[in-house]
Amino acid sequence: MPGIVAAGHPVTAEAAATILREGGNAFDAAIAALVTACVAEPVLASLGGGGFLLAQPAHGGARVFDFFTHTPRQRGSADAADFRPVLVDFGSAQQEFHIGLGASAVPGCVGGIFAAHRALGSMPLAALLQPAVGAARDGVMLNAMQGFIFRLVEPIYLTPSAAPFFASHDDPDRIAGPGDTLRSPQFADFLEVLAGEGEDLFYRGEVAASVARLCADNGGFLTRDDFVRYEVMQRRPLMVNYRGARLLTNPPPGSGGLLIAFGLGLLESVKLADFRPGELEHRRIMIEVMRQTQRARLQYLLDSDEAGRLLSEASLQHYRRQFADAVAVARGTTHISVADAEGNLASVTVSNGEGCGVMIPGTGNMLNNMLGEADLNPRGFHCWPTDRRMSSMMAPSVLQFADGGRVVTGSGGSNRIRTVLLQLITNLVDYGMDVESAVTASRLHIEDDLLNIEGGTPPAVVDALVRAYPQHRLFDGLNLFFGGAHTAARDAGGGFQGAGDPRRDGVCLVVS
């Protein structure tokens, strides 16, 4: 079937393209790409993590499959937990994460694959897993981007549990690098068994039992009951209108879509198109929207019960006043976008955090470290509520234009996801950019008064921003710190355009 896919790796994108060529729909292709990403992008995608699929069928209502991670039903002693810090150095920035079995929440990717296939798939699941099986058996040569990501997280992927899978074949004390080929016959075997036995193998069978034993013996919190009780949740997308376009995105308890909608609500009070994209006033407006969004996040989203109030008119008016005054004075995540000729749209964002350093026995995949990510634990570590779907900044989205055009997008990038997509949406809606220009335009991100400025920003604008924001960090060129918004679009006439984000070596393939 003709279509388009944008993803973070050529092998991931080709898996989706293969399924489209074989007659599968966008949802079939997205499932194939998700599983193959666990081979080609193993730091960013794993069956040990979780994510979201925003599905817009050609006929019928849109829905979000929430298969994100879930907190354990019981919280043991923090002192006895396998929970330790690691520092990830991005070169121009550093970020601390925590790993170990005590950092793992209940994984949802396997459940998400099966739930999406039951609801929307048109081909046998075994066929959809074949691209990943082939990639795992034959191996995938690490490209420069994946090699760089491995270097960032080397302490996590050279643990005794992980090193047999990710160390260099020439030097077992060194992480695999560009040019090395990673093979995982164990993962290939597991996928073939999974296709035959179904998701019970993971949630009620050998996998759940083995993870429960590991945690009981080594300082983790997960039990077999946590796996048995895991459920994929289907939700209605959060829908907001912005200057004649409609955004469908991830609803609460996810926070990313809510914060993007809030930022767009603030921008409704200014005519952004009066300013040239990239000029100083445009940048100042976007920075202030980001600042007000962060303040609102801290006020409302520490308690998920308060999240619905964020988009209330009273809340927006309060922050619009502050926004107007200010303007006057002045993580391991990957994304897949697929559209097909019938009009089906699939937007998938998945994450394993950085991984906890421990492999799931018999699967060739690493467990997540979502309980060790500060962004997902705003109350502090070991303070998470039990038996609760975790919030996430991930925001797979579909942007609908009045003329019938559709854009499928999303991004990796931890707490930068909300600012990445806010800038992308305004590039498309306010400035009418084509997809490639919207994706490649230089970005900003501000948090805790630290302004991050991506390379490509005009020098005069950089000079003015540096004077206005004493706490700042400059990046040379496009940088993976600013996300990976792999984006695909289908216009009103059925034509396709798209772009893989070059910040993460993204790829876009059109299937004819």
Other C-beta atoms within 10 Å of 3: how many?
28
- The neighbouring-strand residues paired with 239 are 248
The per-residue pLDDT for 323 is 46
Q: Is 333 a catalytic residue?
A: yes
Rounded Cα distance between 271 and 263, Å, is 14
Other C-beta atoms within 10 Å of 314: how many?
7
| Residue ranges covered by each domain of the chain | 38-234+352-376, 235-333+394-511
Q: 393, 383, 223: which is closest to 297 by C-alpha?
A: 393
- What are the angstrom distances between the C-alpha of 86 and each of 91, 99, 187, 448, 480? 15, 7, 27, 22, 19
Cis before 253 (ω within 30):
yes
CB 292 within 8 A of CB 266: yes
The per-residue pLDDT for 255 is 81
Three-state DSSP class for residue 181: strand
Tell me which of 12, 36, 223, 333 is the catalytic residue: 333
- Mean pLDDT (the chain) is 91
DSSP letters along 11-38, please? HHHHHHHHHHHTT--HHHHHHHHHHHHH
pTM, rounded to two decimals: 0.93
Single-letter code of the amino acid located at 369:
N
Burial class (CB in 10 A: 0-12, 13-18, 19+), 274: exposed
Which residues of the chain carry a pLDDT beneath 50? 302-304, 323, 325-330
* Token reading at 460: 């005069």
The dihedral over CA atoms of 470, 443, 335, 10, expressed in degrees to the nearest 10, equals -120
Any idea which residue has 């900003």 for tokens? Answer: 444
Rounded Cα distance between 151 and 149, Å, is 5
What kind and span of H or E run contains 423? helix 417-429
Which distant-in-sequence residues (6+ apart) come within 8 Å of 491 by Cβ?
404, 405, 497
The per-residue pLDDT for 171 is 87
Single-letter code of the amino acid located at 270:
V
- Please give the CATH topology (third level) of the domain spanning 235-333+394-511: Glutamine Phosphoribosylpyrophosphate, subunit 1, domain 1 (3.60.20)
Rounded Cα distance between 340 and 448, Å, is 41
- What are the angstrom distances between the C-alpha of 481 and each of 132, 381, 414, 438, 478? 27, 24, 9, 17, 9
Burial class (CB in 10 A: 0-12, 13-18, 19+), 313: exposed
Rounded Cα distance between 302 and 436, Å, is 36
CB 183 within 8 A of CB 137: yes
Q: 65, 3, 61, 12: which is closest to 34 by C-alpha?
A: 12
Three-state DSSP class for residue 158: coil
Beta strand spans in 72-180 (E): 84-89, 94-99, 140-141
What kind and span of H or E run contains 200? helix 200-203
| DSSP-assigned letter for residue 273 | G
DSSP letters along 446-510, please? EETTEEEE-TTS-HHHHHHHHHH-SSEEE-SSS-GGG----EEEE-TTS-EEEE--GGGT-EEEE
Phi-psi region of 413 (alpha: psi -120 to 50; beta: other; left: phi over 0): left
Measured N-to-C along each axis, helices 10-21 and 26-40 cross at an angle, to the nearest 10 degrees, of 150
The per-residue pLDDT for 326 is 41
Q: 378, 379, 495: which is closest to 434 by C-alpha?
A: 495
The per-residue pLDDT for 330 is 32
DSSP letters along 280-349, please? HHHHHHHHHHHHHHHHHHHHHTTSGGGGGGGGSHHHHHHHHHHHHHHHHH---EEEEEEEETTS-EEEEE
- What are the angstrom distances between the C-alpha of 5 and each of 104, 256, 439? 31, 23, 15
Any idea which residue has 């000729």 for tokens? Answer: 341
For residue range 238-293, list pLDDT tens digits in order.
999 999 999 999 988 888 888 898 899 889 888 999 999 999 999 999 999 898 88
Rounded Cα distance between 6 and 483, Å, is 14
CB 211 within 8 A of CB 95: no
Which distant-in-sequence residues (6+ apart) come within 8 Å of 317 by Cβ?
none
Which distant-in-sequence residues (6+ apart) come within 8 Å of 211 by Cβ?
220, 222, 227, 360, 361, 367
Any idea which residue has 């929440």 for tokens? Answer: 105
